[in-house]
Amino acid sequence: MPRALGPKTLRALTDRVQYYRDLGIYDLYRREVDTVEPTPEQMAQIEQDMAHDMENKGAPFKPSVGLSGVVEDPVTALRLIREDLGDCTRCRLHQQGRKQIVFGVGNPEADLMFVGEGPGADEDEQGEPFVGRAGQLLNKMIEAMDLKREDVYIANVVKCRPPGNRTPERDECDTCSPFLYRQIDVIKPKAIVALGAVAAKTLLGLNDTMANMRGQWFDYRGTKLRVTYHPAYLLRDPRQKGEAWKDLQEVMKYLGLEVPKKS
Ligand code: SF4
């Protein structure tokens, strides 16, 4: 017989549903699970996690034990988000020539997360974000920060390639971005770098120019966010690389990384 939820857990669950609604997530799926009852210790841990979450309202939530009684480490949590995406047909991009969904790649516990716009042809082919020419440049940017690609997490606002590499439409971003928000929610990075205007506008809910959005820190639900140029733009206008490096140096300072004296 299913265990009745206590008032604390019930309130925390209500709070959690509201949290997802605030993010614009309305479709919640109830996953079939083995009907294994959580042990009293696991139940206590669930209540403790949720109580902690309620006390830290607004801070990203990261359960250590799932309601199914299974340990939900970030790898598992990301896998479950990918499963929720499924063979997604939620927006028109599913029928405009995508080969596959490009979910995200990197360290599921990364301190730093890069968010781009959407997959291009190479990414669509390989199923991994930022693997084409822009990806090579992003790798160099990451290495210049004295980090490795495996240290960070990389994802896009839309997970399917827009035809002809066009900019994703606002409604496509709105439909797909809740999955990005959930990825961020699991990874809980210390800082996010929004690569280009689409990522910045989506994450910040702003409609502003790159000139206005660069050069300052933003708050994304308790996480520091910096805006810089998309590597594809930097390939088109390499003169802006110095400006992008300035943005990354600010991120390095915030993360406590040593900034090289000479760039
Ligand atoms: Fe689904 Fe996102 Fe692909 Fe649209 S872009 S079909 S919402 S995965």
Residue 49 has pLDDT above 80, yes or no: no
Rounded distance from Cα 33 to ligand 1 centre (Å): 26
Host H or E run for residue 24: none
Looking from the CA of residue 158, the nearest atom of ligand 1 is: 5
Q: Which distant-in-sequence residues (6+ apart) come within 8 Å of 136 by Cβ?
A: none
Q: Looking at the whole model, is its pTM more than 0.95? A: no
Q: Which residue has the higher pLDDT, 133 or 7?
A: 133
Decide: 184 in ligand 1 pocket, CB within 6 A: no
Mutational pocket test of ligand 1: of 94, 103, 165, 180, the residue with most ligand atoms within 8 Å of the beta carbon: 94
Rounded distance from Cα 90 to ligand 1 centre (Å): 6
**Would you state the pLDDT for residue 71?**
38
Q: In angstroms, rounded to a whole number, what is the distance separating the alpha carbons of residues 66 and 228?
A: 36
Q: In angstroms, rounded to a whole number, what is the distance separating the alpha carbons of residues 231 and 57?
A: 35
pLDDT tens per residue across span 157-182: 999 999 999 999 999 999 999 999 99
CA 230, 235, 238, 241 dihedral sign is: positive
Q: What are phi and psi of 191, to 5 degrees?
A: -145, 150
Is residue 39 exposed (0-12), middle (13-18) or buried (19+ Cβ within 10 Å)? Answer: exposed
∠ CA 205-116-202, rounded to 5°: 10
In this structure, what DSSP letter does residue 100 have? S
Nearest CA to 105 among 70, 148, 62?
Answer: 148
Rounded distance from Cα 44 to ligand 1 centre (Å): 37
Decide: 91 in ligand 1 pocket, CB within 6 A: yes
Strands (E), 56-205: 105-106, 112-116, 153-156, 191-195
Confidence class for position 22, pLDDT limits 50, 70, 90 = low
Decide: 154 in ligand 1 pocket, CB within 6 A: no
Confidence class for position 39, pLDDT limits 50, 70, 90 = low
String of DSSP letters for 128-141: SSS-SHHHHHHHHH
Rounded distance from Cα 158 to ligand 1 centre (Å): 6
Q: Which domains does the chain show, CATH number per domain?
A: 7-56 (no CATH), 74-255 (3.40.470.10)
Decide: 85 in ligand 1 pocket, CB within 6 A: yes
Mutational pocket test of ligand 1: of 87, 95, 99, 101, the residue with most ligand atoms within 8 Å of the beta carbon: 101
Decide: 90 in ligand 1 pocket, CB within 6 A: yes
Q: In angstroms, rounded to a whole number, what is the distance separating the alpha carbons of residues 208 and 66?
A: 39
pLDDT tens per residue across span 198-257: 999 999 999 999 999 999 999 999 999 999 999 999 999 999 999 999 999 999 999 999
Sheet with 153-156: strands ordered across: 105-106, 153-156, 112-116, 191-195, 223-228, 217-220
Residue 156 has pLDDT above 70, yes or no: yes
Mean pLDDT of the chain: 85
Mutational pocket test of ligand 1: of 160, 161, 183, 202, the residue with most ligand atoms within 8 Å of the beta carbon: 160
